[in-house]
Amino acid sequence: MDVEMPQLGETVTEGTITRWCKRVGDAVRADEPLFEVSTDKVDSEVPAPAAGVLTEIRVPEGGTVAVGTVLAVIDGSADAEAPAGPPVVVASTPAGADAVPAPAPAATAAPADARFTSPVVRRLVAEHGLDPAVIAGSGIGGRVTRADVLDAVARRAPSPSSPAPAPAPVPVPPPAPGPGGGARREAARVPLSVMRVRIAEHMIRSHHTSAHAYTSVEVDFERVARVRADQAEAWRYREGFSLTYLPFVARAVSDAIDDYPAVNASIDGDDLVLHPALDLAVAVDLAFEGLIAPVVRGADGKRLRQIAREVSDLATRARAKQLSPDEVQGGTFTITNPGPYGTYQTLAIINQPQVAILATDGIAKRVTVRPGPDGDDVLAIRHTGLLTLGWDHRAFDGAYAAAFLNAVRDVLEHRDWETELE
């Protein structure tokens, strides 16, 4: 049967093949990963529509084709119970040329599903000296993800008698003679990935579309920090993931935004479209290879615990390439969270067609001036951090942006968060 480029979302018209999980001649089981595709909305693993043998690959890795294009052929009459072979890297070829598979890597003792890993995952496995055969994969079809490898590293007890394995060496090009007779290294050229190209296009379009402006406020997170410390163990035991600052910020935004509807809006021609609900997009890093912003629907009607659960679930599935196109479309306001890396102030680019994006930067203990019990100023050590709103000057002005941020700050500093977590 013919394998066609799927329709991954109502507005998606084309996709780029980023990786084939099988090579010509391999047995294919129904619903196991067959190839990876990148669109302007999402990167996805696409399962095989039927069992059989892959007899033809018509579109090589790197090829971009329209929805409905035949990508490959599976012979359903052939025996599909043979063990699956290792993944194949299909060399990109000029348009019209035959797709010729590159030589497959040597087989290892790992099971077939453990071999379906990205270059980042394979590098992590090599750096930590892990056996891929013993890593349980949580991705589609049992694929080993970056999170699976990090979990395996965390569970592995270090051996007191043996040093940690050294990272895999990075090849360095030989130095070339410089103009003064000294050695000069040649610059390495790395082709941009499909995702990097798409992100670049989107960001450049946003800069040309919106009149970007930025406003920041400093927030005292001490009340939130204490609740997190008190609830950390019970929360992780009950929910299975850590309680971070992000859900608190998202909850505060969902409260404040009702009084500032122009922040939760988009521009359509000469109209400002005020959205009736907050569909909150949260930027998720994909192992430093790109970003994706899955959406928490109706965040303004949800309490902190539910927001935290959905953000954790969406982020986990985003990194495992298990999101559907609908889960990354239709956001009305975006939060990006570089704070875990200790950033101070981030000026984020607006996620079109939205009119605002909030960056949550590093929260740390800092010395602040506060009123003392006698009315005098005293020095105090508090958890503080910046919230920076990137906003479209076409939609509103600086006073409106500042008032919205002040409302978010007020919720974070004064809400009874203990009650919220009950």
pLDDT one-digit tens code per residue, 13-71: 788 888 899 999 999 998 888 998 887 667 778 888 889 999 999 999 888 888 889 99
Average pLDDT over residues 403-420: 95
* CA-to-CA dists, residue 286 to 210, 293, 300, 319, 350, angstroms: 26, 10, 26, 6, 19
One-letter amino acid at 398 equals G
Lowest mean pLDDT segment, chosen from 3-12, 17-26, 303-312, 359-368: 3-12
The answer to whether 279 and 299 have CB atoms below 8 angstroms apart is yes
Question: Active-site residue among 79, 397, 414, 416?
Answer: 397
Strand 333-336 relative to strand 280-282, pairing: parallel
Beta-bridge mates of residue 296: 280
pLDDT (0 to 100) of residue 120: 54
pLDDT band at 365 (very low <50, low <70, confident <90, very high): very high
Per the prediction, the chain carries an average pLDDT of 82
Q: What is the DSSP secondary-structure string of 269-309? A: TTEEEE-SS--EEE-EE-TTS-EE--EETTGGG--HHHHHH
The answer to whether 246 and 314 have CB atoms below 8 angstroms apart is no
Q: Which domains does the chain have, with CATH numbers?
A: 1-93 (2.40.50.100), 106-157 (4.10.320.10), 211-420 (3.30.559.10)
User: Would you call 392 a catalytic residue per the annotation?
Assistant: no
CA angle centred on 172, ends 168 and 176, rounded to 5° = 170
Question: Active-site residue among 393, 410, 414, 416?
Answer: 393
* Of 299, 222, 287, 285, nearest in space to 254 by CA: 299
Strand 356-360 relative to strand 333-336, pairing: parallel
pLDDT, one tens digit per residue, over 235-255 is 999 999 999 999 999 999 999
- This prediction has a pTM of 0.66
Q: 259: which residues sit within 8 A by CB, 6+ positions away?
A: 404, 407
As a whole number of angstroms, the distance between CA 91 and CA 61 comes to 6
The answer to whether 371 and 215 have CB atoms below 8 angstroms apart is no
pLDDT (0 to 100) of residue 407: 98
Q: Which two tokens stand for residue 412?
A: 């974070």
Question: At 306, is the secondary structure helix, strand, or coil?
Answer: helix
Comparison of pLDDT for 85 and 2, the residue scoring more:
2
As a whole number of angstroms, the distance between CA 263 and CA 403 comes to 11
As a whole number of angstroms, the distance between CA 287 and CA 310 comes to 20
pLDDT, one tens digit per residue, over 183-197 is 788 899 888 887 888
